[in-house]
Amino acid sequence: MSHKMTYGDYLQLDALLSSQKRLSDHHDEMLFIIIHQVSELWMKLILHELRAAIDAIERNDMDPAFKMLARVSKIQSQIIHAWDVLSTLTPSEYMEFRDRLGQASGFQSYQYRMIEFALGYKTDYIVKIYEKDPRLHEELKRALYAPSIYDVALKALARAGFSINPALLARDYSESYEEDPTVEAVWLAVYKNVDQYWELYQLAEKLIDIEDWLQQWRFRHMKTVERIIGHKTGTGGSSGVTYLKKVLDHRFFPELWNIRTKL
């Protein structure tokens, strides 16, 4: 049937383009729905690339991992620009349909949480939120207990002969990573001997790119929310802007940031 398949068939456009179902008759609700759906599609691709990169680094196959991580950074730039489009929505316009959202909130995005898991920020309470959905709950549980991109990066450092705290190499992956002085010393050595440890240096810079872009995404998220709803409570009951400002201080790869001061 492939020679008879149309563009619309291949992309399943009937299903995709019929998924924007407004709950109000307000013109701008279409913008609100599409921006969030597009962001979820991009996040699906980020997860696809991150998981493959993690597998490649575990196999010590660095070149494909670098390509995948570079792609993640480009995808992140697209998601950041989505906030520019959403910010054309004014507070008055949003209030016309906000009550139709009920308890739906971006804080409930399970794909975003799985991206955090893949980067090493693990929070088991997020998994509990989805206990009523067995399939999704199991998927989040697997992500919670899987090694993050930073966990496999530390294994790569150990394979290169560096001395890493053994507890980190056999740690419980369901817990958030916390910085360690042995890791900082190793990354410092890598950055001081770039030619000798070129692959590890490249890996470190790819990780920094991803965290940098993620923090820029978080910042644009916070400013867009502040611009549209100010300091109101979020639709899902979150503290809204207050919470979004707080997470700006979180770091996924702390040692990679610390060494910049010490070089």
220 is in an annotated binding site: no
129 is in an annotated binding site: no
33 is in an annotated binding site: yes
125 is in an annotated binding site: no
∠ CA 162-164-167, nearest 5°, is 155
32 is in an annotated binding site: yes
Distances (CA, A) of 245 to 125, 222, 223, 232, 239: 20, 7, 9, 14, 10
Beta carbons of 17 and 71 less than 8 angstroms apart: no
At residue 47, φ and ψ (nearest 5 deg) are -65, -40
159 is in an annotated binding site: no
3 is in an annotated binding site: no
51 is in an annotated binding site: no
34 is in an annotated binding site: yes
Q: Detail the residues annotated as belonging to a binding site for substrate.
A: 32-36, 94, 98, 235
Q: Detail the residues annotated as belonging to a binding site for heme.
A: 221
Q: Detail the residues annotated as belonging to a binding site.
A: 32-36, 94, 98, 221, 235
